[in-house]
């Protein structure tokens, strides 16, 4: 039995039996074990009694005062102890998380359910995956020229603007088809290979981060992708996304560039195995054909689960993203 604060026996002896079962939650003063002394009676151990003796100085002569003065929270794993919360009730904290003392000019606001859920999932991701990030840079000249040349005709025919995100979604589809392990996931001792590509697109909203899913992106063209992105983004902002529209997904794209992020290491969205991070476009001097010329450049990052994906596959995947974005004609010719 592991405890955050030691519960010492009031007398020497041997544990005869445990009164509380594994997984039980016990109140202060509840007996958790029976200690047997050699050829003598038994002593009952309550978690709050010994913890109170350590916390209160000098000790109170009555059990009621001991319980009233008890401050430390005694937890067992898996047996835990509840304590009566003071008023106002502070948020529950882990054993390693300090309780911050109140200060002037500070406000304590409870976390929203969405924020708590996001925090839990991201921490689970950090604890589960062997995450590693690899980087590359992309010359955005040709994709931006493609958008500039056909933006009016695109809007006239499809009723939606041609953005850069659809180009990256198409590039990601091509990369996932070339490196299917990036689209796979570990399940116990098995690897599940997905024969579909559902791409989650991270969208920041005033209430928090949501990741609606573009289903079967491998079957969609630029216009269909742009329409779906616009529809999902509007729903995300007004809070009308359904659970089904955010469930699943086999790969995520996060565009921090819209906020001005130059470089980042995105965190995997469970239960996926990889995430692509896009960033801001910055004009930088580049060497092209032996000449130094200004080019609109973007850093891209791929964070992946190294338990499943080796560095070779991750680098090849990111190179495919770079190749397709820098020369979108590769999609037309499938090369």
Cα 239 to Cα 206: distance, rounded to the nearest angstrom: 10
Owner of token pair 């979604």 = 169
The b-or-e profile of 198-213 (16+ CB within 10 A means b, else e) is bbbbbbeeeeebbbbb
Catalytic residue among 158, 306, 323, 327: 306
Active-site option among 124, 149, 152, 310: 310
310 is catalytic: yes
306 among known catalytic residues: yes
208: CB partners within 8 A, 6+ apart: 112, 114, 115, 118
Distance (Å, whole) CA 137 – CA 332:
23
Could you give the CA distance from residue 41 to residue 118 in angstroms, rounded to a whole number? 53
Residues forming the active site: 306, 310
């Amino acid at each position: 039995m592991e405890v955050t604060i030691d519960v010492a026996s009031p007398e020497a002896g041997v544990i005869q039996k445990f009164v509380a079962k594994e997984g039980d939650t016990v109140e202060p003063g509840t007996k958790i074990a029976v200690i047997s002394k050699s050829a003598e009676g038994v002593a009952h151990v309550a978690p709050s009694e010994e913890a109170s003796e350590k916390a209160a100085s000098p000790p109170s002569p009555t059990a009621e005062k001991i319980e009233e003065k008890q401050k430390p929270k005694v937890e067992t794993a898996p047996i835990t102890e509840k304590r009566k919360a003071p008023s106002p009730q502070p948020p529950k904290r882990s054993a390693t998380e300090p309780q911050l003392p109140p200060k002037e000019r500070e406000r304590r606001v409870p976390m929203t359910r969405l924020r708590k859920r996001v925090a839990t999932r991201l921490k689970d991701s950090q604890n589960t995956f062997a995450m590693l990030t690899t980087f590359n840079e992309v010359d955005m000249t040709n994709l931006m020229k493609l958008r500039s040349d056909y933006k009016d005709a695109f809007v006239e025919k499809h009723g939606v603007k041609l953005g850069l995100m659809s180009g990256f979604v198409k590039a990601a589809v091509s990369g996932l088809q070339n490196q299917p392990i990036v689209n796979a996931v570990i399940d116990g001792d098995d690897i599940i290979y997905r024969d579909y590509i559902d791409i989650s697109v991270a969208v920041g909203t005033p209430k928090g981060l949501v990741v609606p899913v573009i289903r079967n992106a491998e079957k969609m063209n630029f216009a269909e992708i742009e329409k779906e992105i616009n529809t999902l983004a509007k729903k995300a902002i007004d809070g009308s996304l359904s659970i089904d529209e955010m469930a699943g997904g086999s790969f995520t794209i996060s565009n921090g560039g819209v906020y001005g992020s130059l470089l980042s290491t995105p965190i995997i969205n469970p239960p996926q195995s990889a995430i692509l991070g896009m960033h801001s476009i910055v004009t930088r001097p580049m060497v092209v054909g032996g000449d130094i010329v200004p080019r609109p450049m973007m850093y891209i990052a791929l964070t992946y689960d190294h338990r499943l994906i080796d560095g070779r596959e991750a680098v090849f995947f990111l190179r495919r993203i770079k190749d397709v974005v820098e020369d979108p004609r590769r999609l037309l010719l499938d090369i």
